[in-house]
Amino acid sequence: MSRVYNFSAGPSCLPEEVLNECAAEMLDYNGTGQSVMEMSHRSKAFEPIIEDAEAMVRKLMKVPENYKVLFLQGGGSTQFAMVAENLGIHTGKAAYIETGVWAKKAAKEAEHLGVKVDIIASSKDKGYSYIPKVEKIQGDYDYAYICFNNTIMGTHYEYIPDTGDIPLVADISSCVLSEELDVSKFGLLFAGAQKNLAPAGVTLVIIREDLIPEVENCRPGTPTMLAYKTHSENGSMYNTPPCYTIYVLDKVLHWIEKNGGAAGINKKNVEKANYLYDYLDSSDFFRATTEKGSRSLMNVPFLTKYSTGSEDEAAKAKEKEINDKFVKEAAAAGLVNLKGHRLVGGMRASIYNAMTLDGVKALVEFMKKFASEN
C-alpha cells in the first residue's frame, strides 16, 4: 500500500526522510549492533544523542543561555500540573487566558492544586473561534498562562502579550518550530512532541533558570518527579527518559535545519495554510470555523453548508451523514484522519511541518470534487 496523507491532529505525520533513516538504523545504530530502543540511557552510545538534541533545540529556537532545555515525560497535560506546582509558589495567584479545551484544562488543574486562577480573558462567547486581544497583563501574579496554538479550535496567537515582570508560560505543543518565536519573551515554554517533533512520549520544556525552585520550595505535596529542579540538575536523566523518541526528535530537528530552520519551515507552512484557507473562503460548500486574524497554520477545522447549528433532528442527521460520507470517501482517496473534534464538528485538517504542499493540494482537489457531487 502506498503512503497516505495523514491529517491527524496528533500523533501526526513525520517526515518520510526521517522515517527512512530510523528504519535503516533500527537493528544497528551507528555500528553499535543494537537499536536505540534497546540501549542504556547511561551508555556512551546514547549520550551524544540527547546532547545533540538539546544543542539542536538551542540552535533552532535561539534559546538564551539562562534557560534550561528539558526532555520530560507525561505529555503536555502533566505540564498543566508542573507549571502550577513549580511557579505558583509566591502569591499563589496566576492569570490564564481561556481560548479552548487545553487552556481550560490547564486552569482547572492549577485550581485543583490550590493556585488561585484568574481567567482574565476568554473567547468562550464565540465558541473559542478567536484569540482575545490582551496586550498587557498586570497584577501580583506568579505567572500568566496561554495556549499559543489551539489544536481543537484551530486558533493561534498573532501577538505575544506583554506581561512585564510576570513570567509568561505558553503551551506550544501544536506549533513548536512551525514559526520563529522569541524565547526570551517567555518564562516557560512546553510542547508535547507528537505533533511537530517526534512520536508521542517526550515533552520539550524550555524554562528560565531563575524560575526553577528547589524541590522543597515547590507547592506542598509536589512529587519529586514533578519538580523541574529534579530534571534540570540531572540533564533530563533522573530516571530513564524516552530514549527512542528523543532520538527521532533529534533527527526531525536536523530535518528542520535542512529545510531552512523555523523561518524556512514557516514560509512553507504559510503557503500550505493559505492554499487551504483561500479555497475555504471562496467555497459555497465549505467554510472555516475560525475568525481571520486568529487562524492557525497548523490546524484547520471546517464545516459544510449542512452545518447550520440547527437543533432540528433532521438537520442534525443530514449534517452527520454528509460529514461521515466526507471522512469515509476521503480515507478511500488516501486522505486520512480528517474527522473533526466533537466540540467543533465537521472536519479538521492538521497540516503540521511534515505535511507537504502536495498533500494539501490533494485535499483541496478532493474537496472540490466532493462539493460538486453533494
Looking at 68, 142, 171, 272, which residue is catalytic? Answer: 171
Report the C-alpha gap between 196 and 202 in whole angstroms: 12
Catalytic-residue membership of 171 = yes
Q: Cα separations (Å) of 121 from 95, 146, 371?
A: 9, 10, 38
| Helix spans in the chain (H) | 16-24, 47-61, 75-87, 101-112, 228-232, 243-258, 261-282, 313-332, 357-373
Looking at 68, 142, 195, 272, which residue is catalytic? Answer: 195
Count, in order, helices (H) and strands (E) of the chain: 9, 14
Catalytic-residue membership of 195 = yes
Residue 93 pairs in a beta bridge with 116
Q: Cα separations (Å) of 80 from 73, 74, 95, 131?
A: 13, 10, 13, 20
Which of 366, 337, 329 lies closest to 151, judged by CA?
Answer: 337
Q: Is 77 strand, coil or helix?
A: helix
Q: Cα separations (Å) of 68 from 32, 55, 225, 357?
A: 30, 11, 17, 35
Q: In this structure, what C-alpha cell is assigned to residue 245?
A: 523518541
Gap between the terminal Cα atoms of the chain:
29
**Burial (CB count within 10 angstroms: exposed 0-12, middle 13-18, buried 19+), residue 214:** exposed
Report the C-alpha gap between 175 and 194 in whole angstroms: 11
Catalytic-residue membership of 255 = no
Looking at 102, 142, 229, 255, which residue is catalytic? Answer: 102
Residues assigned a catalytic role: 102, 171, 195
